[in-house]
């Protein structure tokens, strides 16, 4: 099968698929990562398969095995399936995630190898196909000491700012407001965290930036920008950082601030100090996925350590979007 390779902060990742429907979106998703260099450690291998039906997927779950978790809901970005269902199975050194009518993922951690089977991916939006790959990559990187945070991350003068939060809380709007004022992008949604020489380090995972039409209107360079630089996602438009902010990418930084945004109906924004306990409570649901108890504990310890060493604030985000740097910059100097 056609194969390409990248280095994710020193970890070699090999991806193969005979389907351009799967391989090309993943190439775009990993576009910012360079080819492997000598010294890359612990190569990861991910094979992507497209299959016509569920019956075409090899049987991988023993009949007597019970799932450790199950979820279901309405699908987005799938024109053939209106509902999704997910069962997660844990076996020694193995994670199996069964998406039933949409596919199945099998990860062998001991061999650092994963197989992802997608059923009729032509019916799925490109973002959905990428999400399966990203899920696999996250799980494999955890075993290499690289943890994913669901947050926006920016850098200035080597110091990092994290803005966690689910969709609709102003995370990307805050990100762009700070980016255009001199901060640099580490990631719009999925930065990586690891320990390096006894210290925590934020690492880049640059990707496309999803933006609503409402947020777009706040920023003149985007609102009046070349329409060809915007692309249509499932619900939002998106653009690539370098098309509007070519100087705005950073590879790594030391985490310094943690900012939790809440949109308020107010002409001005303000920040309030947040206790460590409350900050951890806010961060965990956005970040920690509990499959494997051992690695979940390790991830929790990383997050707890992260919160303890950062200054934590609540951002009550008002209508003065472009003035956000005025609030945030002084926090770096405290």
pLDDT tens-digit map of 107-127: 999 999 999 999 999 999 999
DSSP 3-state of 279: helix
Provide the pLDDT for residue 226: 87
Provide the pLDDT for residue 89: 92
Residue 95 CB neighbour total at 10 angstroms: 22
Distances (CA, A) of 74 to 84, 85, 121, 270: 6, 9, 17, 37
Kindly tell me if the per-residue pLDDT of 288 is higher than 60. no
Kindly tell me if the per-residue pLDDT of 51 is higher than 90. yes
Provide the pLDDT for residue 290: 57
Going from N- to C-terminal start, the domains of the chain cover: 3-144, 148-332
At 39, the pLDDT band (50, 70, 90 cuts) reads low
Provide the pLDDT for residue 325: 92
Cβ contacts of residue 115 below 8 Å, gap of 6+?
46, 47, 49, 105, 106
Provide the pLDDT for residue 19: 94
Element spanning 303, H or E: helix 293-309
At 64, the pLDDT band (50, 70, 90 cuts) reads confident
Closest CA to 202 of 309, 274, 284: 309
Provide the pLDDT for residue 291: 61
Q: What is the CATH number of domain 148-332?
A: 3.40.50
**Greater confidence, 167 or 99?**
99
Token pair of 332, please? Answer: 């770096």
Q: Is 288 exposed, middle or buried (0-12, 13-18, 19+ CB in 10 A)?
A: middle
pLDDT, mean of residues 220-225? 88
Distances (CA, A) of 142 to 111, 248, 299, 331: 14, 27, 8, 31
In the predicted model, what is the mean pLDDT of the chain? Answer: 89
Q: What angle do CA 198, 202, 328 make, to 5 degrees?
A: 115
Provide the pLDDT for residue 105: 96
Kindly tell me if the per-residue pLDDT of 203 is higher than 60. yes
pLDDT tens-digit map of 157-200: 999 999 997 777 788 899 999 998 889 999 988 999 998 888 99
Residue 234 contacts residue 215 (beta carbons within 8 Å)? no
Distances (CA, A) of 247 to 70, 143, 173, 274: 43, 32, 19, 32
Kindly tell me if the per-residue pLDDT of 140 is higher than 80. yes
At 214, the pLDDT band (50, 70, 90 cuts) reads confident
pLDDT tens-digit map of 235-246: 889 999 999 998
**Greater confidence, 25 or 295?**
25
At 225, the pLDDT band (50, 70, 90 cuts) reads confident
Q: What angle do CA 198, 203, 209 make, to 5 degrees?
A: 160
Kindly tell me if the per-residue pLDDT of 61 is higher than 60. yes
Query: CB-side exposure of 22: number of CA atoms within 13 Å?
Result: 25
């Amino acid at each position: 099968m056609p194969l390409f390779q990248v280095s994710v902060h020193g970890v070699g990742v090999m991806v193969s698929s005979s389907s351009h429907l799967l391989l090309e979106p993943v190439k775009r998703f990993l576009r910012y990562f360079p080819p492997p260099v000598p010294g890359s450690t612990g190569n990861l291998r991910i094979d992507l398969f497209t299959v016509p039906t569920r019956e075409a997927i090899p049987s991988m779950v023993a009949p007597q095995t019970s799932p450790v978790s199950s979820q279901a809901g309405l699908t987005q970005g799938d024109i053939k399936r209106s509902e999704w269902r997910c069962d997660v199975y844990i076996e020694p050194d193995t994670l199996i995630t069964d998406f039933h009518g949409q596919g199945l993922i099998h990860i062998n951690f001991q061999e650092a190898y994963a197989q992802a089977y997608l059923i009729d991916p032509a019916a799925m939006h490109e973002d959905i196909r990428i999400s399966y790959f990203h899920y696999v990559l996250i799980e494999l990187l955890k075993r290499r000491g690289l943890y994913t945070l669901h947050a926006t991350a920016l850098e200035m003068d080597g110091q990092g700012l994290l803005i966690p939060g689910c969709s609709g809380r102003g995370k990307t709007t805050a990100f762009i407001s700070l980016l255009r004022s001199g901060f640099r992008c580490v990631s719009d949604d999925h930065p990586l965290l690891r320990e390096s020489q006894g210290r925590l380090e934020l690492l880049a995972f640059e990707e496309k930036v999803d933006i609503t039409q409402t947020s777009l209107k706040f920023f003149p360079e985007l609102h009046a920008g070349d329409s060809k630089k915007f692309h249509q996602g499932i619900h939002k438009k998106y653009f690539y950082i370098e098309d509007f902010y070519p100087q705005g990418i950073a590879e790594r930084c030391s985490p310094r601030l943690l900012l939790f945004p809440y949109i308020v109906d107010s002409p001005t924004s303000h920040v309030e100090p947040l206790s460590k306990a409350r900050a951890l409570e806010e961060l965990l649901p956005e970040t920690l996925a509990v499959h494997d108890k051992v690695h979940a504990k390790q991830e929790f310890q990383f997050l707890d350590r992260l919160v303890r060493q950062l200054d934590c604030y609540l951002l009550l985000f008002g209508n003065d979007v472009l003035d956000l740097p005025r609030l945030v910059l002084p926090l770096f100097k405290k």
